Structure 1
Amino acid sequence: MKMSEGVEWALHTCLNLAWVEDGSPVSATVLADYFRLPPAYLNKQLQALARAGIVSSVSGPRGGFRLAREPGDITVLDVVVAIEGPQDAFRCTEILRDAPHGEAGVDYRSTCAISQTMRKAELAWRRELAGQTLADVRATVESRFPLVAGQTRDGLRNRRT
């Protein structure tokens, strides 16, 4: 399964926003500059996150983006779906129907062993992502790299001023 780089960018950006303690908005330009990303492309990801209710947009000269929900209420799957869409990664097109012994009227999506295997794997993947919140990721990063939260806050703050 291949995801766009926008998923990585969105997850890191949400994590950075989770470290902004006062919840003040951070501009797309500042967020992009932090990782040296193209601002227009990151802004596209931020707009998708806003449409999904993960971040909110604040207009004005001191505007930008901030988390719309608590980090514990945002799953990794929420972010992936906001960026990639809700479609299944594997799409059974029921090619068995056109095979020499295929039958019209059979729902091969529910009877095909390959389709069932792929669906089972995707459900496990989605369950795993749904079981991890932004707060979980934040806690993992903070336990492994205790200074990173403060460094990120300072880095974002310094780019704003």
Structure 2
Amino acid sequence: MKLSDGVEQSIHSIAMLASLEEHQVLSAAALAEFHGVSQSYLLKHLQALSRSGILGTVPGPKGGYHLEQSPDEISLFDVVLAVEGPEPAFRCKEIRRNGPNPASESYFIAPCQISADMLRAERSYHDELRKVKIAHLLAKVQRDDDGTLAARSCAFLDANARTSRQTRIQQPR
């Protein structure tokens, strides 16, 4: 299964936003710059994350994005669902009905076994994604960091985080 680049960009953006202090936001332009990605492509995914309730937005020239949920609550599945949508990866087209010698109608009483097994496997994949929270990922990165990553992120946040008067949940730093 191939996930779009938007999933990776979204997870990294959420991780960056988790470092903000209360009343701070980051613009889509700043997030795109930090990650070296297309602002317009990232913006599409930030908007999807906002629609899903993962991110909050502050409008206006001094606005930007912040986490609407705690990193302890956001799972990788939540991000994949927001970015990729709810459609299953495997969609059975019932090709058994096609061709010069299609299967008899009696085979179509039960669901296609290939489809059933693919959907079962996808549910297992989703269950594993639900187990991984953004907070756990951040803790692993912090544990393995020699200080270089933290310094890079802190310097960028110091230069680019915007203060907003909008009240929102307190994020751990």
TM superposition score category, shorter chain reference: 0.7 to 0.9
Matched-pair contact (CA < 8 Å) for 1:11–1:79: yes
Distance (whole Å) between structure 2 residues aligned to residue 48 and residue 80 of structure 1: 10
Q: Which structure shows the higher helix fraction?
A: 1
Deviation at 1:156, TM superposition (A): 2.5
Q: 5+ unaligned residues in a row in structure 1: which ranges? A: none
Q: Which moved more, 1:113-122 or 1:80-89?
A: 113-122
- How many correspondences in the alignment? 159
Q: Which residue of 2 aligns with 1:156?
A: 157
d(CA) in 2 for partners of 1:138 and 1:93? 40
CA deviation map 1:93-144 (0-9, x unaligned): 2222446433168344x3x332222112111111111111111111111112
SS in 1 for 2:9: helix
Give the structure-2-normalised TM-score: 0.82
Change (3 A) 1:25 1:115: same
Q: CA deviation at 1:29?
A: 0.8
Distance 1:82 1:94, change over 3 A: same
- After TM superposition, the score normalised by the length of structure 1 is 0.88
* Alpha-carbon distance in structure 2 between the residues aligned to 1:149 and 1:107: 58
CA positional deviation for 1:22 = 3.2
Counterpart contact for 2:25–2:161, Cα < 8 Å: no
Counterpart-to-counterpart distance in 1, 2:26 and 2:43: 12
Tell me which amino acid in the other structure corresponds to 1:101: A
Specify which structure has the bigger relative contact order, considering alpha-carbon pairs within 8 angstroms and separated by 6 or more residues: 2
Give the % identical residues.
38
From 82, 96, 101, the counterpart of 2:103: 101
Amino acid at match of 1:157: D
Could you list the runs of 5+ residues in structure 2 that have no partner in the other structure? 163-173
Q: Is the Cα–Cα contact under 8 Å of residues 97 and 104 in structure 1 kept in the other structure?
A: no
- What are the within-5 Å matches in structure 2 for residues 82-161 of structure 1? 82-98=82-98, 100-103=102-105, 106-108=108-110, 110=111, 112-147=112-147, 148-160=149-161
User: Which letter does structure 1 place at the counterpart of 2:48?
Assistant: A
Whole-Å separation in 2 of the counterparts to 1:146 and 1:49: 31
